[in-house]
Chain A
Amino acid sequence: GESVGLHLPTLSVQEGDNSIINCAYSNSASDYFIWYKQESGKGPQFIIDIRSNMDKRQGQRVTVLLNKTVKHLSLQIAATQPGDSAVYFCAENLRPGGSYIPTFGRGTSLIVHP
């Protein structure tokens, strides 16, 4: 019979468009957030981070926005390129004993069409 699995949210964009990937986090006590990019066959890699005392942070072609009121995080990628095709994870971090403990979201698959 047909197997049913969990499917990743997927965002398809054209090369050159801007991409926005969203993430809802669960714990209002989380005070540090990281976006990771995972290319096919590789481990996740750090893209950008933001602390809870900020609502926006910019990197090279990427911007992270944090809305603590609704516990929402977004990653904006400007002028998306085929090399941006990957799965993107957000991670919220708690610091119960002074050291960050991350919890990852399920991820979003970004597909960039040339």
Chain B
Amino acid sequence: EAQVTQNPRYLITVTGKKLTVTCSQNMNHEYMSWYRQDPGLGLRQIYYSMNVEVTDKGDVPEGYKVSRKEKRNFPLILESPSPNQTSLYFCASRRSGGANTGELFFGEGSRLTVL
């Protein structure tokens, strides 16, 4: 089954304790992206990656890091989480170029609470 898998789905942590949210897709997609979703603000892009070893900042990258060492994985790293990073996070992927429709495939979301 084609899917985007995020882990953990739920996490409560404390300020300053480094954490990583993993994202994996099995569709051989070149493009991957992270979003955060906050009440009334819609989906805001944190970082995106056009392909392996190519990453770029989105609209709200502060406090986050990403890496793209393999095509299928795109982890989101919070080196020193703060309470304002409490949010619902989504990973998404899609094909690039050619017959690219632009359709994003989203994971189920990771709800993070930073105390």
Contact = CB atoms under 8 A, between A and B. Distances in A.
Interface of A: 5-8, 32, 34, 36, 41-46, 49, 89, 91, 93, 97-107
Contacts of B44: 104
A97 to B, nearest CB: 8
A42 B102 CA distance: 20
Contacts, number: 64
Interface residues of B, number: 27
17 contacts: A5-B39, A6-B41, A34-B102, A34-B103, A34-B104, A42-B108, A43-B4, A43-B109, A44-B104, A45-B106, A46-B103, A46-B104, A49-B101, A89-B42, A91-B104, A99-B100, A103-B45
Interface of B: 4, 31, 35, 39-45, 48, 50, 59, 90, 92, 96-97, 100-109
